[in-house]
Chain A
């Protein structure tokens, strides 16, 4: 059974700092990996999708990498802003379409 772990559970940084969020998964046979953002009381917003054949994806200040062999993905946020404060969720598709989610990293960017 696929298990997804996100470390740290919470992170507080000053505005402008570059930061890395980590995601690990137990079964390397994945179809894709997706990073989401969730604001309090809101739904999930898709940030980046990395397919199993890809090593990274970039969108603006966000860069996500994937290392299937080690079962790891990282989300890099450059020049963090207070508006980046949210919970970031990593989710893995093992090929059966349904996503297995990590428990998230709660990010607070201090102005």
Chain B
């Protein structure tokens, strides 16, 4: 298995632009998670899905953030408009029954 796949690996954008991060979970996993990692706050959950349905989005910072999972093999995290404080590494992870979570390589986002 290729593991969790994320794209792009690096994204540099200007404040106010729309940013879309993409994730392909491990085949057969029915849970998908989006996390954000910063030096100040460490790793924090943004949102997670079960069978493509959002279950908990309490970690989404504000309305500028949205996430979708149109099918079992694809999810997006969108930021519109982006701000410098959104600069972070965004990780996607997936899991199955025992909830052993497998992480993707992350997307390093820089908003200038």
Residues of A within 8 A of B (CB): 31-32, 34, 36, 41-46, 49, 51, 89, 91, 93, 96-99, 101-104
Chain B residue with the shortest CB-CB distance to A89: B43
Partner of B48, one of A45, A49, A98: A98
Given A89-B43, A96-B56, A104-B42, A43 and B103 contact (CB-CB distance below 8 Å) = yes
Answer whether A97 and B42 are a contact pair too, CB < 8 Å, given A44-B103, A49-B100, A51-B98. no
What is the CA–CA distance of A91 and B101 in the complex, to the nearest angstrom? 10
Chain B interface residue count, CB cutoff 8 Å, equals 24
Question: In the assembly, what is the distance between CA of A101 and CA of B33, in Å?
Answer: 14
Given contacts A43-B91, A43-B104, contact A97 B99 (CB under 8 A): yes
Contacts of B95 in A (CB 8 A): 97
Which residue from B55, B101, B104 sits with its C-beta under 8 Å from A99? B101
CB of B54 within 8 A of chain A? no
Q: Which residues of B contact A99 (CB under 8 A)?
A: 33, 43, 45, 101
List the B side residues contacting A43 at CB < 8 Å. Answer: 91, 103-106
Please tell me if the beta carbons of B42 and A101 are within 8 angstroms of each other in the complex.
Answer: yes
CA–CA, A45 and B93, complex, Å: 11
- B104 contacts A46, C-beta separation under 8 Å: no
**Beta-carbon contacts of B75-111 to A below 8 Å, as 1s and 0s?**
0000000000000000101010011111111101000
- A4 closest partner in B (C-beta): B42
Q: What are the interface flags for B27-51 relative to A under an 8 Å C-beta threshold, 1 for contact and 0 otherwise?
A: 0000101000000001111001010
In the assembled complex, which residues on chain A have CB atoms less than 8 Å from the CB atom of B91?
A: 43-44
